[in-house]
């Protein structure tokens, strides 16, 4: 009697825990929207360069820092909102920084760097951050044509939220003129007797006229209405979407969605859809691109279809933008920058792409199995069921109402209560009859975990993973309701070594001489920086950006000259 009572309490605790997690997905405890402040190294670029940026998350009014989202979405868009490129960046202590590669075939024109979090998508494009930049493609003859939009609902009015220039800091180089190859020593100090709480400090040293000193930051007007569709990403990236009946269009609630992740760091996870059919699957902190497979459990009498939310915002917008122009000074600066880019392309180190890197096979997510059944070590049997029958104390193939199912035996209470997780090459296949039809000649081994296994908010009565010899799911067809995705995870960090120092045995072709996206004041409210000067003569701007305690953006500018 005591053993039965213990088992009931254990099962109730598991079910209550799962219920709390599911309820947490449906609730929306976050009532104030986030906002993003973003600084770039400059605002004039050449095709194939990198846009370097630093970003800081705070509340909408700028009074308190945001502590919810841990992923920043940053994309380069046209004035009509079409994405040119985009990446996702990890947020730590409310700040993020990174690089965005400009395509080499981009059309000369005016573009916008747009930044937001997934949670901000509840409030729409008017809540995002926008930085206007200009890009020149010296290899192309075309110039971007700015269109007009006659649909008032898609037109976003823009007002300039200009930087507040104040003598908050002194930015002092050790001298005003330098020769090529000299080292510049910078002293950055906060002024005034009353110290302020500054955040988001960044520093850029760029050619004069590559940064518009009167640019401001476009601020999109409009009311923010919370749609409640997007959960904040409090740890890392996530995949969200909705499960519907493709025949009726109705949402399918309380249905398990299985996700399998391939490549290095192979993993499996599963969640239940909420009352509106939506799901939220948190992902590991991986970088690069990985292949995923999403598949729902069988739903009797329904034709399930998974609708996955787009990674980036796809709401149509139109930002009124003037035609692309350059002043004579900007034209000369752009020419020199284009020469540097072209020269630098001849000295780039060869890089091995992710697609040709040798990838080792990581251990499966469940670690070391309790038992591994190596098919080749057994006398060849006609069916997989025959092999399972050779292990009668570990796995049993049973039949109920004409349908076969697996049961794994173990010493833990609750093994007989929860269904086991059945995998083929780490993809969930919830049709035991289909699995048992796999020819044994196509199978390398079978891993068995005969313990209760908790994965996220799901509990399984053990695991059976059938590993094929060729990695082709042993020839079976994956469920038609599933979808495959090549998913882009977090972006790799920038290579700051290439930008902040001249590499030996190479010409100095840097257009940004120095970039520090995360300056930290010491106890004396001072920062010291140093960098080598470029070989290109001319005037350069030293631009310090920061955010004060009121959420206002501060811009402090100094100058130096290369003879």
| 306: nearest Cα among 271, 331, 356 | 271
d(CA 553, CA 550): 9
Instruction: Name the pairing type of β-strands 199-207 and 538-547.
Output: antiparallel
**Do the Cβ atoms of 298 and 258 come closer than 8 Å?**
no
**Edge-to-edge strand list for the sheet holding 304-308:** 278-282, 238-245, 304-308
pLDDT computed for residue 282 by the predictor: 93
Share of the chain above pLDDT 70, in %: 81
CATH number for the 34-225+316-346+491-562 domain, one of 2.160.10.10, 1.10.3720.10, 2.60.40.10, 3.20.20.450? 2.60.40.10
pLDDT computed for residue 11 by the predictor: 36
Report DSSP state, residue 251.
B
Sequence-distant (≥ 6) Cβ neighbours of residue 401 within 8 angstroms = none
| Average pLDDT value for residue range 232-248 | 94
**For 378-436, how does the pLDDT look when each residue is reduced to its tens digit (9 = 90+)?**
788 888 988 887 766 688 888 888 889 999 988 888 888 899 999 999 899 888 888 99
On the question of pLDDT at 507 being above 80, the answer is: no
How far are the Cα atoms of 69, 114, 281, 288, 481 from residue 237, in angstroms, in the given order?
10, 18, 9, 13, 24
3-state secondary structure 505-539: CCCCCCCCCEEECCCCCCCCCEEEEEEECCCCCEE
DSSP 334-350: HHHHHHHHHHHHTTPPP
**Do the Cβ atoms of 31 and 226 come closer than 8 Å?**
no
What is the distance in angstroms between the CA of the first residue and the CA of the last residue of the chain?
A: 91
Sign, CA torsion 495/497/502/504: negative
| Average pLDDT value for residue range 333-362 | 66
| SS3 call for 434 | helix
On the question of pLDDT at 353 being above 80, the answer is: no
Share of the chain above pLDDT 90, in %: 46
pLDDT computed for residue 137 by the predictor: 96
* Alpha helix (H) residue ranges in 346-466: 384-389, 432-436
On the question of pLDDT at 195 being above 90, the answer is: no
d(CA 272, CA 35): 30
On the question of pLDDT at 12 being above 80, the answer is: no
**For 107-162, how does the pLDDT look when each residue is reduced to its tens digit (9 = 90+)?**
999 999 999 999 999 988 988 999 999 999 999 889 988 776 666 556 666 666 55
pLDDT computed for residue 394 by the predictor: 86
| Average pLDDT value for residue range 212-230 | 69
What's the CATH class of domain 371-480? mainly beta
Which of 136-140, 195-199, 231-235 comes out lowest in average pLDDT? 195-199
pLDDT computed for residue 464 by the predictor: 93
More confident position, 68 or 43 = 43
Which of 372-376, 445-449, 499-503 comes out lowest in average pLDDT? 499-503
* pLDDT tier for residue 193 given thresholds of 50, 70 and 90: low
pLDDT computed for residue 336 by the predictor: 93
- Range among 240-244, 454-458, 532-536 with highest mean pLDDT value: 240-244
On the question of pLDDT at 360 being above 50, the answer is: no
On the question of pLDDT at 223 being above 80, the answer is: no
Domain ranges of the chain: 34-225+316-346+491-562, 371-480
**What mean pLDDT value characterizes the chain?**
83
Which of 55-64, 312-321, 481-490 comes out lowest in average pLDDT? 55-64
pLDDT computed for residue 150 by the predictor: 60
DSSP 99-110: EEEPPTTPPBEE
**For 21-55, how does the pLDDT look when each residue is reduced to its tens digit (9 = 90+)?**
333 344 344 445 788 999 999 999 999 999 999 99
pLDDT computed for residue 16 by the predictor: 35
On the question of pLDDT at 496 being above 80, the answer is: no
pLDDT computed for residue 348 by the predictor: 65
Burial zone of 120 (CB within 10 Å; 0-12 exposed, 13-18 middle, 19+ buried): buried
């Amino acid at each position: 009697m005591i053993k039965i009572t213990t088992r009931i309490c254990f099962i109730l605790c598991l079910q209550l825990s799962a219920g709390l997690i599911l309820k947490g997905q449906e609730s929306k405890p976050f009532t104030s929207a986030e906002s993003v402040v973003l600084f770039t190294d400059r605002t004039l670029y050449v095709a194939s360069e990198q846009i370097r940026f630093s970003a800081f998350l705070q509340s909408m009014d700028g009074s308190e820092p945001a502590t919810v989202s841990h992923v920043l979405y940053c994309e380069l868009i046209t004035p009509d909102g079409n994405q040119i490129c985009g990446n996702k960046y990890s947020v730590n202590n409310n700040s993020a920084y990174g690089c965005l590669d400009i395509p080499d075939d981009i059309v000369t024109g005016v573009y916008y760097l747009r930044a937001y979090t997934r949670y901000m998508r509840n409030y729409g494009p008017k809540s995002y951050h926008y930085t206007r930049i200009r890009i020149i493609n010296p290899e192309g003859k075309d110039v971007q044509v700015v269109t007009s939009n006659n649909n008032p609902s898609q037109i976003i009015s823009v007002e300039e939220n200009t930087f507040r220039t104040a003598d908050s800091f002194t930015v002092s180089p050790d001298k005003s003129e330098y020769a090529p190859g000299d080292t510049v020593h910078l002293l950055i100090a906060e002024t005034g007797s009353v110290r302020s709480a500054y955040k988001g400090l960044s520093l850029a040293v760029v050619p004069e006229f590559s940064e518009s000193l009167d640019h401001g930051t476009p601020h999109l007007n409009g009311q923010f209405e919370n749609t409640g569709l997007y959960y904040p990403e409090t740890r890392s990236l996530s995949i969200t979407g909705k499960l519907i009946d493709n025949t009726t269009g109705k949402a399918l609630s309380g249905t398990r969605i299985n996700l399998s992740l391939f490549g290095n760091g192979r993993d499996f996870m599963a969640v239940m859809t909420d009352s509106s059919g939506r799901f939220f699957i948190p992902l590991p902190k991986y970088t690069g691109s990985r292949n995923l497979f999403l598949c729902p459990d069988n739903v009797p009498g329904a034709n399930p279809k998974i609708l996955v939310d787009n990674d980036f915002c796809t709401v149509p917008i139109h930002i009124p933008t003037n035609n692309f122009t350059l002043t004579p000074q900007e034209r000369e600066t752009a020419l020199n920058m284009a020469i540097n880019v072209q020269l630098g392309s001849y000295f780039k180190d060869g890089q091995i792409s992710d697609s040709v890197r040798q990838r080792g096979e990581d251990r499966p997510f469940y670690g070391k199995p309790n038992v591994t059944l190596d098919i080749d070590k057994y006398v060849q049997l006609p069916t997989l069921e025959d092999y399972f029958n050779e292990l009668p104390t570990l796995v049993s193939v049973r039949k109920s109402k004409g349908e076969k199912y697996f049961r794994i035996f173990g010493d833990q209470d609750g093994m007989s209560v929860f269904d086991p997780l059945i995998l083929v090459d780490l993809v969930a296949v919830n049709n035991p009859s289909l699995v048992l039809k796999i020819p044994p000649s196509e199978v390398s081994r079978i891993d068995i975990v005969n313990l209760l296994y908790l994965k996220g908010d799901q509990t399984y009565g053990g695991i059976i993973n059938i590993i094929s010899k060729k990695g082709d799911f042993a020839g079976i067809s994956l469920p038609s309701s599933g979808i495959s995705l090549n998913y882009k995870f977090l972006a790799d960090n920038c290579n700051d070594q290439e930008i902040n120092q001249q590499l030996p045995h190479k010409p100095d072709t840097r257009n940004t001489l120095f970039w520090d996206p995360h300056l930290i004041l010491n106890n004396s409210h001072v920062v010291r920086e140093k960098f080598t000067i470029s070989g290109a003569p001319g005037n350069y701007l030293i631009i310090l950006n920061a955010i004060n305690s009121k959420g206002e953006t501060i811009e402090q500018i100094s100058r130096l000259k290369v003879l």
